Structure 1
């Protein structure tokens, strides 16, 4: 049986988009999101592994009884990410180096902060329009406009703000100040001491920032008992 190549390319792009949006995913998760059969998703994943777009790795998944079992997850490689906003990386890195060498580290920090002005402005506008929404959700929506493919995942101690794509990942690998300034902005906008757990620039699959639950009078009293 021969497969229609244009349809295959379209479906594989959907697979790439899904991994970009949701982060490292299992074949079962991808098949469910894209409404594909197990055989079909395996075929597309195999092709994307062979052409270097995806890589697979073992990840332990814990069931109801807490027993870990290995599960294969698929994530984007640098080649896979190169389709998204990395066209001018070399030029940007060159410009950043020149700015650092001629104007110093403070100028680089200032530029890194200015790059996020749009995110901050949109956050305040969205927050004013929808004050009832959690601030972290509003921040995620603001980041989405800039192509960060964000998602908010609740955890026991707060929320994790996950950015499944970073438009400046290759630049930030050489200039981590971009990540530092971004994290500082998150803390200021959310009014919380956030913690950056992982970054794409350092080789992780997703940029992950932990946003702790607000400390309330009740929680303080409980902790003192």
Structure 2
């Protein structure tokens, strides 16, 4: 008797959970994304991806995005595109966010809103100095944006760079996760400081189009590529402007 071939992607309980986490992570990072793209990216069968997506949707961790934007339509029945929900993003959220929010509330109560402004600049200034070192030597334009995305991803922001239209005049820097989202919802100074830091790091004026903290399904920053860049100053003090 011929021995049956092993399944393409055998899974135990732990492996099944791990794969489901990978699917959720990809939806969080690249959403809105369809099942076919998830299967291709993770090298899984279509059946396996549909099973995991169904489970994640049933758990309320992902949902269908009704307006998937500029994704290329496929032939036949329109594909369903998925994004992470607040519950899904919470799976990756820092457990100390609630405490940080309470601390900021206390500072504002005792000192005033300027305390939150100063904290935002200080926190993002520290990140900016680290990112400036990692971006050093990169060419202005898309190479530098990609380097920034990689630095952000290493810090848990699940960042990607996406094209805008057919002409290479701009890209979007997208962040599918924010480790401080809960705090940023109450203190938008963090998002504002981060946007200013991106402008300095990339040497161009960037525009924040959406944030997770304000209800978007990801943080999206428009970065022009076709405009002359200016010399990017390196932050020199902890109080440098800078995040979300």
Unpaired segments ≥5 residues, structure 1 = 217-225
Q: Which residue of 2 aligns with 1:190?
A: 202
Instruction: Give the Å deviation of 1:89.
Output: 2.1
1:208 aligns with one of 211, 220, 223: 220
Unpaired segments ≥5 residues, structure 2 = 1-10, 229-244
Structure 1 position 142 matched with structure 2 position 154: no
Q: Which residue of 2 aligns with 1:116?
A: 124
Instruction: Give the Å deviation of 1:131.
Output: 3.5
Q: Please show how residues 6-155 of structure 1 align to structure 2 within 5 Å.
A: 6-59=14-67, 61-63=71-73, 70-128=78-136, 130-132=137-139, 134-155=143-164
TM-score (norm 2): 0.78
Instruction: Give the Å deviation of 1:9.
Output: 1.1
CA distance in 2, matches of 1:141, 1:34: 19
Higher RCO structure, 1 or 2 (CA under 8 Å, sep 6+): 2
| Structure ranking higher in helix proportion | 1
CA distance in 2, matches of 1:211, 1:22: 18
| Structure ranking higher in strand proportion | 1
TM-score (norm 1): 0.84
Structure 1 position 181 matched with structure 2 position 193: yes
Instruction: Give the root-mean-square deviation of aligned CA atoms.
Output: 2.3
Structure 1 position 163 matched with structure 2 position 175: yes
Q: Which residue of 1 aligns with 2:211?
A: 199
The CA deviation string for residues 171-191 of structure 1, in whole angstroms up to 9 with x for no partner, is 111111111111111112222
For the residue of structure 1 that corresponds to 2:209, the secondary structure is strand
